[in-house]
Every structure is written in C-alpha cells, then in structure tokens.
Chains A and B, each alone.
Chain A
Amino acid sequence: MNARLVVAGLCGCVLFACAARAEDAAAPEADKTAKPAALPADPPYLAKPKGSVTYTKHIAPILFNNCMSCHRNGEIAPFPLGSYRDAQKRDVQIAMIVKDRLMPPWKAEPGYGEFHDARRLTNEQIGLIQQWVDDGSPEGDAKDLPEAPKFTEGWQLGPPDLVLKMPEAYTVAAEGRDVYRCFVIPIPIDEDKYVSAVEYRPGNRKVVHHALLFLDSLGTARKKDEADPLPGFASFGGPGFLPTGGLGGWAPGALPRPLPEGTAKAIKKGSDLVLQLHFHPTGKEESELSQVGIYYSKKPPTRTLAALTMRGRKIDIPAGEKAYTIKESTTTTIDMEAIGIAPHAHLLAKDIKCNAYLPDGSVTPLIWIKDWDFNWQGQYMYEKPVKLPKGTKVEVEFTYDNSTGNPRNPSNPPKRVTWGEQTTDEMALCWVQVMPEHETDALALKAAAGRSIFGGGEGTNLRDLIKEAVKKFDEDGDGKLNDEERAKLREFYNKTRGQK
C-alpha cells in the first residue's frame, strides 16, 4: 500500500525474514505462456429472430440482477435502471457501455481466478442488449416482466455490533483533482476484539469513490490528524503512516462479506480506525460523513490469516516508455490456501497479472487485470480457497505506460517515475491473503507473511510474533530462550525463509 508498510515488512525481516524472494529460492521457472486450465464456458451470441428480444423478457432480468444494486434511487449510480423507461431512454448508452465492458465495473479477466460477487456479463447477455437496441428497444409483454428485485436497505449484514462514524463531516470542493484523505475514528472497546465482518457505508454516495480501512494502535494517525486543520489528513497511495493492521476496503458495487469460517481479524483495545477515502468531485460542493459497521466474531479464530506480500521497489520508468514491466515473486515455505488477492499500483499501471507456479509444474492463475484503473482497485475474494502447496512460486507482473498516449498519465509531458506514495509516483504491490493449510504451521506463516490492508488484523505485528515465537520455543518454560532453544528458533526461521 505504501512505502511505510513495506518498511514494516522489512523490519520483520531483520528478526524473522520475509517469505523467500525469487532470487533466494530455488523455484520452478515461470512459464510465461501460462493460460488458465479451463476458461469458463461463454459461447458467442447467436442472433435471435428480429424483434423477439424484449425488455420484459430478456433485458429486465439482466438489469435487475447486474445493475440495480447500484442503479436505483438513493444508491451510488447517477440514474436508476429499474423500469422500461429508465432503460429505453438510455438504450444506446447502455449498449455501448456493456459492449466495452465498462459496466458493470469488474476488472478481473474471466478464467484467471474465480471470485465472489464477480460482476461480469456473458456474451449472451451483452448480445441480447445489443440486439434489443438494434431492434428498436421494444418493451414486450407485461406478463414476461420478472418481479423487481428486493434490496436490503441500510446495513447489508444486519445491525452491526459496533458502529463507527467519522467524528465530523468533510467537505469536498466542487471541482479539482480527486481527493485522497484519511479520517481517524477512535474505536471504543474495553478489551481486544475479534472481528468477523466489516461493512463500510458512505454517507454521500455521489462523492465517495472508494475506501480503505486501516488500524492504528500507536496513535500515529491521530497525531497526523491533529497537525492538519481540516478533518482528517491528506494521503494518496497509502495511508501516509505505518498502520498496525487492516480491515479491508470498499468500492462501489462491492458487497460486505464475512471472513471464512474459523477466521477473524483482531482489533486491539485503544486502536483507531483510519478510514482512507477517495473523493471524486461532482461539480458542486459535497459533504461526507461515513460509517463503518463492525461485526464481532462469536468465537476466537481457529484459523490464522496472513498476507503474502509481493512488492517491487526498483521501479524506474523512463519518460515516454509505453510498456515498462516489473516482476515480483515469493515462494511458499508451507502449504497454504489463498482466500483473496489485492493488487495495487498507481495511475500508470496498465496490466497486472499474477500466477501461481506449483511444484508439480501446473499453473494456477490468481488474477489478471488487463486495464488497471487506480479508481477501481479492490480486493478480490476467491469463491473457493486456492491451494498453494509448499514450494509454489507466486509471481506477479506489472506493466506501466508512461507515454503521452496514456490519458491517465498524471504528468504532461511525461517524466521519469520511481517508487513512491505520491500521485506522480508508482507502486508495484500485490497482497495474497492466505491461511495455513495446517494450523500447526501458523507461526511459520505469520513469520513469513507481512501485514497488509486485509492481512491478519493486528495479530501479525512484530511484538506479538516475538511473544508467540518465545512461547513456542521456550521448552523449559522459564519465559526466555536459552542457547539451545534459540538455535531451534533460528533453524525454524531459516526453514521458513526457504534458505539452505
């Protein structure tokens, strides 16, 4: 997420070492032509008899199920799509937008990871919309119209156990560059808590573009907030401080989803929630007051959550370069399962692809985003955990376009771009949220993994890790490690690092 997060990871390396990097592990040679084993069946559209495609029979079900969660009154989309008139008077626009797959917003390529809540229309659905518009957008028979979908108003996961609200509203100017800002919200809990789900709710759906949720138990964010006269403090790529944990993120259309059974994120007593919001000016002054709903886990977690982090800091993109690539990888030192993935780069990135090269020679595609858009970044949660056996090389490749041909280029004319947190800097980061396949490997996983925006909450910070390591290797139970115990710890971590 940001440079400081990375620094945090590096501090961890001093004692425990991060997951083995590509250069210090004997990993299988990556197959550059890796393709998904089987693409989901999506046959091309076959034209129907002219005039037979109607709104009530064919189009309404598509719009109801794929568009209306945002395109209804009071929701984030600018206009509703709940009636024939709503659709008919925008038919050409709808046809164009779905054909170009600009909507519904979903950046992951099909076949490269099977994700929850994938919002992707099939060729059949897109074809039906095209033909309907070409045929004059007929309404059709009223009795074909399916029942309008019912949406849960308010909190999607029900009343939260704890509602955190921005202490004061923030005013977004009518125009100008997009605004990225962190807001510090104290968490009023008397004891450490385990969290199974988090739901973010913007107050003003017109102006909030996306949200990232960080934790801070050290008061660093509070100080930054105090130093800034306006509510919160400015930040772009990352939160601008070293977070002690993360609680995920939100983008329009994303549904809150509880963590997998047996897992939970920890919130330490005295922590602040740091809400990083991205605002897109709307043409008039807007005011925002967000809320975050916290759902406690009924029982402590039995599975450990951590994040594999791949980060490329040696970014140096010459001005004008059209396709600059950087590759980063990590090799698993225990059997693990990936439950989610979140790539991160700034405005110049075009293409991000992540594959897992398994020790048996097979390739599991983890994600491919062909048209990276900073404004639509998010975390992608796998429908089923993806197995990453010990010795799997997880490799991510980023491609950047620093030419004038890239309209998102923040510098005009283009300038040399290196790693950094500012809009005009770049990043190459990818987190894979993982669980150990065997819980006995939990400590090794935590040692190998770093924190992330959706990592293990506060459970994987350095101090906890040291405590846990001492406990594990303190065989004589005297609360400290003697030479023999220390040697075993060293051996354990060398093994964890995958070094000989």
Chain B
Amino acid sequence: MRNRGGWIALALAAVAAVSLAHAEDALALKDLDGAERHPLELAKGQKAAVVIFITVDCPVANGYAPEIKRLCEACGKQGIAFYLVHVDPDVTVESAKKHAQEFGYACPVLMDPKHALVKRLKAKVTPEAFVVGAEGQTLYRGRIDDRNVGFTQQRTEATTKDLREALDAVAAGKAVPTPETKAVGCFIQSLEERKP
C-alpha cells in the first residue's frame, strides 16, 4: 500500500473521508495494558460498539457486574464490540486492574481520565450504557435495566432489560425500540473548573 505514491494519496484521502464521517475515530483511550484503543471505531463486520461507564467504587455499577459479563459474552457472539470505561480521574491502572480481577471482567477496560469519551457521549452517571453504530451515531443510551429506581431505591427484580433489547435489535439489524432511557447511578463529576 505504501510503495506507490498514488496509493498513498488514495489511502490518505480515504482516511480523511472516514475521519470526516466518523469524528469518533480519532478518539483513543488506553486499556489496562497501556495499549491504545479506539472504542468508537468499529472493526470490519462489527455492527456496533457498547460502552458502559463505571468507577471502582460505584455500588450501582458494581452491582451489575454479573449482567455486564453476560452482556459482554453475548456481544462477542453478536459481532458487537464491548468496552467498560473508568471515569474517575483519580483511579490508577493498578486499582482498575484489581477491580477488573475482583469482578471477573474479561472485556476490555479503558481509562478515560480526561473524559474524552464521557464528553463525546455526554454520559451523566455510572453505569450508563451506550450503543454506538458504525456511523458514530448513538443507537441507545441509558440504563442496563430498570432494577434501580432511585439512588437508594431498588426493585426486587428488574422488569425490563433495556440494554439487552437494544442489542438484540441491533444484532438483528432492526431499529432499537426504546433508544433512550434514564440511567440511575453515581453522577459523573465534570472535570471543568466551575468558577464562582
């Protein structure tokens, strides 16, 4: 590809075009091994990417660990990328690794200390879930299910599985029936200085 100028020019043009179409492509976050990942850039054949924002200490997010693991596995089979993203700027890679090990997360865990992805997707709480399509469009945003009603109020059991329904629709190539729900959890603190 690189041995002929024409090809290079063509490739650059193609990249530029893709970048314009997918502004998200530029967004890179490091995973727990320090490798750069592009969570909004879909690999060939992938239908969508799931991003769930977490912290090591949000009890609401942690409570979903078993469901998150099942979703991650299901996504692998459905051709959907899956990422967990830490939003706490103070969390160290070491504590994120320990957390992933404790909760048994096998999916990629990314660090977003500068809130690049938080701001891009306008995430508000942990664990808020996003399903992003090939064109960078948000196909679903909101809760994993409706178990949490308020910050300290829970249903005995969830009555809807909103994220699962969204993913099933995406996998089947259909429109997501409820593209937006309200996620309940721990607020993601803005990193902007708020002057009095």
- Name the A residues within 8 Å of B157 (CB-CB): 177, 412
> Which of A89-97, A114-122, A216-224, A484-492 participates in binding chain B?
A89-97
Task: Report the minimal beta-carbon distance from A178 to chain B, rounded to whole angstroms.
Answer: 8
In the complex, the answer to whether A283 meets B62 with C-beta atoms within 8 Å is yes
**Complex Cα gap A282–B65 (Å):** 8
- Name the A residues within 8 Å of B186 (CB-CB): 90, 93
In the complex, the answer to whether A283 meets B103 with C-beta atoms within 8 Å is yes
Name the residue on B nearest A132 (C-beta).
Answer: B196
Task: Report the minimal beta-carbon distance from B108 to chain A, rounded to whole angstroms.
Answer: 19
Is B90's CB within 8 Å of the partner chain A? yes
Is B169's CB within 8 Å of the partner chain A? no
**Complex Cα gap A175–B59 (Å):** 12
- Given A407-B149, A408-B156, A412-B159, the answer on whether A284 and B65 have CB atoms closer than 8 Å is yes
- Name the A residues within 8 Å of B150 (CB-CB): 102, 407
- Given A89-B90, A175-B63, A407-B149, the answer on whether A284 and B155 have CB atoms closer than 8 Å is no
Instruction: Report the number of A-B residue pairs with Cβ-Cβ less than 8 Å.
Output: 77
- Name the A residues within 8 Å of B193 (CB-CB): 136
Would you give the 0/1 interface string for B36-78, flagging 1 where the beta carbon is closer than 8 Å to chain A?
Answer: 0000000000000000000001110011111100000000000
In the complex, the answer to whether A78 meets B58 with C-beta atoms within 8 Å is yes
B156 is contacted by which of A85, A136, A177 (Cβ under 8 Å)?
A: A177
- Name the B residues within 8 Å of A136 (CB-CB): 193-196
Is A10's CB within 8 Å of the partner chain B? no
In the complex, the answer to whether A284 meets B104 with C-beta atoms within 8 Å is yes
**Complex Cα gap A423–B156 (Å):** 10
A283 is contacted by which of B63, B153, B156 (Cβ under 8 Å)?
A: B63
Task: Report the minimal beta-carbon distance from A136 to chain B, rounded to whole angstroms.
Answer: 4
In the complex, the answer to whether B67 meets A78 with C-beta atoms within 8 Å is no
**Complex Cα gap A174–B154 (Å):** 16
Name the residue on A nearest B155 (C-beta).
Answer: A407
A284 is contacted by which of B58, B62, B151, B195 (Cβ under 8 Å)?
A: B62
- Given A78-B57, A282-B63, the answer on whether A102 and B151 have CB atoms closer than 8 Å is yes
**Complex Cα gap A16–B55 (Å):** 59
**Complex Cα gap A245–B96 (Å):** 47
In the complex, the answer to whether B152 meets A102 with C-beta atoms within 8 Å is yes
Question: Which of A136, A177, A347 has its CB near the most chain B CB atoms (within 10 A)?
Answer: A136
In the complex, the answer to whether A89 meets B189 with C-beta atoms within 8 Å is yes
- Given A79-B57, A284-B62, the answer on whether A90 and B156 have CB atoms closer than 8 Å is no
Enumerate B74-123 residues with CB–CB distance to A below 8 Å. 88-90, 102-104
Is B7's CB within 8 Å of the partner chain A? no
In the complex, the answer to whether B194 meets A137 with C-beta atoms within 8 Å is yes
Is A51's CB within 8 Å of the partner chain B? yes
**Complex Cα gap A138–B187 (Å):** 19
- Name the B residues within 8 Å of A85 (CB-CB): 90
Task: Report the minimal beta-carbon distance from B32 to chain A, rounded to whole angstroms.
Answer: 18
In the complex, the answer to whether A92 meets B189 with C-beta atoms within 8 Å is yes
Is A50's CB within 8 Å of the partner chain B? yes
Question: Which of B57, B63, B156, B157 has its CB near the most chain A CB atoms (within 10 A)?
Answer: B156
Overall SS of chain B's interface: loop
Task: Report the minimal beta-carbon distance from A411 to chain B, rounded to whole angstroms.
Answer: 9
**Complex Cα gap A97–B155 (Å):** 19
In the complex, the answer to whether B88 meets A282 with C-beta atoms within 8 Å is no
Is A281's CB within 8 Å of the partner chain B? yes
Would you give the 0/1 interface string for B171-196, flagging 1 where the beta carbon is closer than 8 Å to chain A?
Answer: 00000000000000011010001111
- Name the B residues within 8 Å of A88 (CB-CB): 189
- Name the A residues within 8 Å of B187 (CB-CB): 90, 92-93, 96
Question: Which of A50, A93, A96, A423 has its CB near the most chain B CB atoms (within 10 A)?
Answer: A93
- Name the B residues within 8 Å of A178 (CB-CB): 156
Is A226's CB within 8 Å of the partner chain B? no
In the complex, the answer to whether A281 meets B189 with C-beta atoms within 8 Å is no
- Name the A residues within 8 Å of B151 (CB-CB): 96-97, 102
**Complex Cα gap A105–B152 (Å):** 10
Is A301's CB within 8 Å of the partner chain B? no
Enumerate A63-102 residues with CB–CB distance to B below 8 Å. 78-79, 85, 88-93, 96-97, 102
Name the residue on B nearest A206 (C-beta).
Answer: B59
Enumerate A270-286 residues with CB–CB distance to B below 8 Å. 281-284
In the complex, the answer to whether B62 meets A282 with C-beta atoms within 8 Å is yes
Enumerate A43-75 residues with CB–CB distance to B below 8 Å. 50-51
Task: Report the minimal beta-carbon distance from B160 to chain A, rounded to whole angstroms.
Answer: 11
A135 is contacted by which of B64, B155, B196 (Cβ under 8 Å)?
A: B196
**Complex Cα gap A88–B189 (Å):** 9
In the complex, the answer to whether A283 meets B189 with C-beta atoms within 8 Å is no
- Name the B residues within 8 Å of A175 (CB-CB): 63, 65-67
Task: Report the minimal beta-carbon distance from B118 to chain A, rounded to whole angstroms.
Answer: 13
Name the residue on A nearest B125 (C-beta).
Answer: A93
Is A160's CB within 8 Å of the partner chain B? no
Task: Report the minimal beta-carbon distance from B159 to chain A, rounded to whole angstroms.
Answer: 6
Is A410's CB within 8 Å of the partner chain B? yes
Enumerate B126-181 residues with CB–CB distance to A below 8 Å. 149-157, 159
Enumerate A99-154 residues with CB–CB distance to B below 8 Å. 102-103, 105, 135-138
Q: Beyond A103-B152, A177-B157, A284-B104: 13 further Cβ-contacts under 8 Å?
A: A78-B58, A79-B57, A88-B189, A89-B88, A89-B90, A89-B189, A97-B151, A102-B151, A282-B63, A283-B65, A407-B149, A412-B157, A412-B159
> What are the nearest 7 A-B pairs in CB distance?
A283-B65, A136-B194, A51-B196, A407-B149, A283-B62, A175-B66, A93-B187
A-B contact pairs, 10 of them (CB 8 A): A78-B57, A93-B189, A96-B187, A105-B152, A136-B194, A178-B156, A373-B152, A407-B150, A407-B155, A423-B156
Residues of B within 8 A of A (CB): 57-59, 62-67, 88-90, 102-104, 149-157, 159, 186-187, 189, 193-196
